[in-house]
Amino acid sequence: MYTVIGTVGSRALRVLWMLEELGQPYDHVSAQPRSEGVVAFNPAGKVPVLIVDGTPITDSTAIIQYLADRHADLTRPAGTLERARQDSLTQFLLDEFDAALWLAARHSFILPEELRLSSIKNSLRWEFERSQKVLVARMGEGPFIMGEAMTVPDIVLTHCGIWALAARFPIIEPRLSEYLERMRARPALMRALARTGGAAPRS
């Protein structure tokens, strides 16, 4: 049994969704970042945290890749060229999508008000739109980012897409819009949201 710590409105959703896709049982503790229940396992106070046999694992991407490797699903085998391509796509999404959205969030409600720069969000939206064009050129043929099989970067990209829509970061590429609409309807994602009391993602 796994235990996932973190709210459904955070990157913890990536972990909950991965576990639903894998069909693995888990407990969910809906703890806020920097709360006592989080800091006890992660001194940085960040979520999600996955508890495995009493050992905490932090960072959503590290967690979902660990789960994919452990259960030999939703990933390409380590040491293969396809895995290198998968990891490259994951890192691209973290650098170009997740990072832009996180910086926008920091300047919206996380940093002390006197340190927030609202104007920075214009440049972040511009970079986000440019990154979409690069991503579409890298997507494989098929329903998923790498082609016919769902992999770790699909969870990262879809979560970033949900986040972007909530933050009013436009999705300008038609192929990406179609992809996100299809991915947001996946039964495993719906189960993760329903189990934790979360609302279905909306555009």
Residue 189 has pLDDT above 60, yes or no: yes
39-76 pLDDT tens trace:
999 999 999 999 999 999 999 999 999 999 999 999 99
Question: Residue 117: inside a domain, yes or no?
Answer: yes
Mean pLDDT of the chain: 94
Say how many C-beta atoms besides its own lie within 10 A of residue 193's C-beta.
19
Assign 196 a pLDDT band (cuts: 50, 70, 90): low
Question: Residue 202: inside a domain, yes or no?
Answer: no
CATH of the domain at 18: 3.40.30.10
Tracing tokens 């009013």 back to the chain, one arrives at 168
Question: What domain range includes position 64?
Answer: 2-74+189-195
Four-residue CA torsion sign, 198, 15, 59, 160: negative
What's residue 28's pLDDT?
95
Q: In what order do the strands lie in the sheet with 26-29?
A: 26-29, 2-5, 49-52, 55-58
Among residues 169, 154, 165, which one has the least CA distance to residue 203?
165
Residue 190 has pLDDT above 50, yes or no: yes
Question: Residue 201: inside a domain, yes or no?
Answer: no
pTM of the full structure: 0.94
Tracing tokens 């991915």 back to the chain, one arrives at 183
DSSP bridge partners of 4: 28, 50
**How many structural domains are present in the chain?**
2
Peptide bond into 77 cis (omega under 30): no
Sequence-ordered list of residues with C-beta below 8 angstroms from that of 145, at least 6 positions apart, any chain = 89, 139, 151, 153, 154, 157, 179
Q: Do 69 and 152 sit in the same domain of this protein?
A: no
Tracing tokens 């189960």 back to the chain, one arrives at 191
Q: Do 28 and 112 sit in the same domain of this protein?
A: no
Which pairing describes strands 55-58 and 26-29: parallel, antiparallel, or unpaired?
unpaired
Assign 203 a pLDDT band (cuts: 50, 70, 90): very low
